Amino acid sequence: MNIVQGIKGFLGISLIDYPGKVAAVIFLSGCNLRCPYCHNSALLDSGHELEDLQLEELVEALKRRAKLLDGIVVTGGEPTVHPQLFQLLRSLKSTGLSVKLDTNGMRSDILAAAAGEGLVDYMAVDIKLAPERYSQELQAPADAAHRLGATVDWLRASELDYEFRTTCVPGLVRERDIEIISRMISGASAYYLQQYVPLHVPDSSLAQRPPYSPEVLERFMEIARPHVKEVGLRNL
């Protein structure tokens, strides 16, 4: 039996995690950022308190559901830090379902290799805030801005379906961040602003903050529209 550790969660069906598709969702442990508003904080490290799910059992479950599903979402944590990501993706592709990968964009080499092998059909890249603020706010590597820029440049030049997205956390993500991000991804096919949902976040002060009003989010959209082909809102 092939053992793939770090598979910590499975959602059998979702209508919101893969645009235009009915999808299952697989959650992996481990992350190379520390976002204070992460709603999957139990997955940030090894997720040792959560039981590992068996890959073979997941694949069989997916095959049984294949007539109900269009795709599979691999999320985390951060999938690109998972040491057996490629083994996992190959197994998932064997189901015949489309695969979407959620990522923070810190490992463009992993993303390009997965796409080059035909293991991913759609990528969603979370851009947290202006890249120069990553080290201060997210405990990111000193070269985080360069890493993220490499992913943006590669993805815009690729033939892969993709989106960029930002969760609009009050007091953390500001107009200036949206302006900088929009210019960085200029020409991208899609950019989604996501309403902040203050549930299960590790920073207690953020948990008390009310989400931005629809008017503020609309202003953010107006900032982004001149730079990106499609701008949308989620979680309203």
CB atoms within 10 A of CB 45: 12
Report whether pLDDT(2) > 70.
Answer: no
Are 125 and 158 in contact, with CB atoms under 8 Å apart? no
Average pLDDT over residues 188-215: 90
Tell me the pLDDT tens digit for each residue of 115-134.
Answer: 999 999 999 999 999 999 99
- Domains in the chain: boundaries: 7-234
**Does 151 score more than 70 pLDDT?**
yes
Cα maximum dimension of the chain: 53
pLDDT over 90, % of the chain:
83
Fold of 7-234: TIM Barrel (3.20.20)
- Residue 122: in which H helix or E strand, if any? strand 122-126
> What is the pLDDT confidence band of residue 198, given thresholds at 50, 70 and 90?
confident
Mean pLDDT of 213-226: 97
Residue 208: CA atoms inside 13 Å, Cβ hemisphere, count?
2
Is it the case that residue 3 has pLDDT exceeding 80?
A: no
Of all residues in the chain, the percent with pLDDT exceeding 70 is 97
Residue 206 confidence class, pLDDT cut points 50, 70, 90:
confident
Please report the pLDDT score of residue 39 as a whole number: 84
Determine the Cα–Cα distance for residues 95 and 146; give it in Å rounded to an integer.
Answer: 35
How are the residues of the chain apportioned to helix, strand and coil, as percentages rounded to the nearest 5?
Answer: 35, 20, 45
Residue 223 has pLDDT above 80, yes or no: yes
Instruction: Assign 48 a pLDDT band (cuts: 50, 70, 90).
Output: low
Q: Is pLDDT at 232 greater than 90 in this prediction?
A: yes
Mapping DSSP onto H, E and C, the string for 63-109 reads HHCCCCCCEEEEECCCHHHCCCHHHHHHHHHCCCCEEEEEECCCCHH
Cβ-based neighbour number of residue 33 at 10 Å: 21
pLDDT at position 235 is 87
Q: Does the structure show a pLDDT above 60 at 1?
A: no
Which of residues 181 and 49 earns the better pLDDT score? 181
Per-residue model confidence (pLDDT) at position 176: 98
Of 12-16, 48-52, 103-107, 109-113, the range with the lowest mean pLDDT is 48-52
